[in-house]
Amino acid sequence: MATPPSIDQIAERVERLLLRHAELQRTNALLTEQVTALTQERDSLKSRLSAARARIDALLERLPAAATPTPPQERHEAD
């Protein structure tokens, strides 16, 4: 039959769990900062992309209309 864990073993395990918890909290805080930074970067890139698209659209509107080639006229020879 297994002997129940001693108070010292339980205390050691609780200490390890507390250390692990603190480590996970620090990791979570760092990941949260990274998500915030990446979200801001994404929003900035989306804004820049939108501005670039608007500039391209404005430039395209300034271009003259493309001349559409007309099909050659058929010659009707009089017999």
Q: Which residue has the higher pLDDT, 53 or 4?
A: 53
In the DSSP assignment, the letter for residue 78 is -
CB environment 55-76: b (16+ within 10 A), e (fewer)? eeeeeeeeeeeeeeeeeeeeee
What are the sequence ranges of the domains in the chain? 9-62
pLDDT, tens only, 11-69: 999 999 999 999 999 999 999 999 999 999 999 999 999 999 999 999 999 998 765 55
Given this model, what pLDDT does residue 74 score? 61
Given this model, what pLDDT does residue 4 score? 85
